[in-house]
Structure 1
Amino acid sequence: MSVLPLVFTSGWASGVNAYAVVLLLGLFGATGLSDDVPEALQRPEILVTVGVLFLCEAVADKIPYVDSVWDSVHTVIRPAAGAWVGALLAGQSGSVSDLTAALLGGSTALASHTVKAGTRMAVNTSPEPFSNIAVSTVEDLGVAGVVTLALFHPWAAAVVAGALLFTGLTALCFLLSRVRRFLRRRARRREERRTAAAVERPPGGAPYADRD
């Protein structure tokens, strides 16, 4: 097994949806479709737990602003999951040290998580909720496709994951400017409302409209 490309790909996917990665790998191993999946990922309690968490993420990830809160909570969880899966894959193959694989999986997961979280902040500046649903669905399908490809063609999957990560980081640089403009507009509107309220009801007095 080519473990390094598989670790890299699983790390990228963990940064997007760690529960989907563990669930998919575990199911592939438990059903005998792949012999490269560590037994720890195939345990029934692991599959049930990540299955429930995957369903929770599938809902939270499609609700505006809730998805950003969910991403904030998972800033540690996703890189940790990428490192854990990478170490398990390395232990399974025996060709790479657990520490090396954990560092590769965790750092890749952190990078892709940053792209995901930043992209969602930009998407949340849109007034309609359908873009969140579309982006979340594309992410889930992308994770499923790339992880499946990684088990059978690890180098090809690593190339795809690398291209997606590079594209995401590049796009994030442009999207962050949109987020900053959105935050400035919201702060300006909040300040305007406070100013208007102060004019209508000055401190210590009744509104100007109610005075004789």
Structure 2
Amino acid sequence: MTLDTLDTTHLVALAAALGWASGLRLYAVVFLTGLAGWLGWLPLPAGLKVLEHPVVLGASGLMLVIEFLADKIPALDSMWDAVHTVIRIPAGAALAAAVFGGDHAAWATVAALLGGTLAATSHVAKTTTRAAANTSPEPFSNIALSLLGDAAVPVMLWLAVEHPIVFFACLALALVVMVALTWLLMKFLIRLIRTLRQRFGAGAAAA
């Protein structure tokens, strides 16, 4: 595949994939995209060429490993997600905008809005789901959800480049599921917090 074969549909799909996946695994997105460009598997647009630089690959690869491990540890994963709330969303917007670069300002602006929104949606869904999973004493559901996120990122990036129409269908389905899960799990967490407050409040009053 050459850069000329990446038509508007492919570029929009790539921008959407970078934004959405950044909300789940930002460092995996940066590393895998840069690695694909460096190995010649994917001709990266000019705005993303910096991801191919060895220094960027090294740094993103190191952070990928750290995030991979942190995401498998209950409670630590939620703290990691909380810290990255201020990182993943703007990074998703920036990566999406970089697909079109400065020569297409209008498209870059739209892509930034799209990427930031998708990153926020996936990040909130991930954070809420993992917080709910952490209420369970067993670690297996947490690890399973983490591995699902690990697998989803490269699959969606690949679909965006090779089969953009299929990617858009999968993205639409993923967004519906994420929004529904976020709504349901937020209600669950709010009820749990209220129950704990009442329990500890009653205990403190009795003491």
Q: Same fold (TM over 0.5)?
A: yes
Contact 1:67-1:120 at 8 Å conserved across structures:
yes
Tell me, what secondary structure is at the counterpart of 2:99? Answer: helix
Structure 1, 92-101 or 25-34: larger mean CA deviation:
92-101
Partner of 2:186: 176
Asked if the contact 2:13/2:161 (under 8 Å) is kept, the reply is: no
The 3 A distance-change label for structure 1 pair 126 and 182 is same
Contact 2:36–2:42, Cα closer than 8 Å, also in 1: yes
Which residue, 191, 198, 204 being the options, matches 1:188?
Answer: 198
Using the TM superposition, give the Cα deviation of residue 115 of structure 1 relative to its aligned residue in structure 2, in angstroms: 0.8
- Asked if the contact 1:60/1:66 (under 8 Å) is kept, the reply is yes
Contact 1:36 1:92 in 2 (8 A): no
SS of match in other structure, 1:194: helix
Change in CA separation of 1:153 and 1:96 when aligned onto 2, cut-off 3 Å? farther
Contact residue 4 and residue 101 of structure 1 kept, 8 A: yes
CA contact (8 A) 1:90 1:96 kept: no
TM-score (norm 1): 0.85
Query: Alpha carbons of 1:57 and 1:114: their partners in 2 closer, same or farther (altered >3 Å)?
Result: same
Paired position in structure 1 for 2:168: 158
**Is 1:3–1:96's contact at 8 Å kept on the other side of the alignment?**
no
Contact 1:6/1:158 (<8 A) preserved = no
**Largest Rg, 1 or 2:** 1
Question: Letter of the aligned partner of 1:86 in structure 2?
Answer: A
CA drift at 1:166 = 1.4
1:66 aligns with 2:80: no
Contact 1:11/1:105 (8 A) holds in 2? yes
Q: CA RMSD in A?
A: 1.9
CA deviation vs aligned residue, 1:156-192 (integer Å, no higher than 9, x gap): 2122122111111112211122212221232233224
Identity across matched positions, percent: 40
* In 1, Cα distance between equivalents of 2:205 and 2:155: 52
1:137 has 2:147 as partner: yes
Matched residue pairs, number?
A: 197
92-101 vs 167-176, greater mean Cα deviation: 92-101
Letter in 2 for 1:143: V
CA distance in 2, matches of 1:59, 1:186: 30
Partner of 2:3: none
Deviation string 1:126-169 (CA, Å, 9 cap, x unpaired) is 12122111100111101111112212222321221221111111
**Could you list the runs of 5+ residues in structure 1 that have no partner in the other structure?**
199-212
1:102 to 95, 100, 112: 112
Q: Does 2:107 match 1:116?
A: no
CA distance in 1, matches of 2:29, 2:141: 23
Q: Name the CA shift for 1:157/1:93 in 2 (closer, same or farther; >3 Å).
A: farther
The 3 A distance-change label for structure 1 pair 88 and 113 is same
Query: Counterparts of 1:175 and 1:186 in 2: how far apart (Å)?
Result: 16
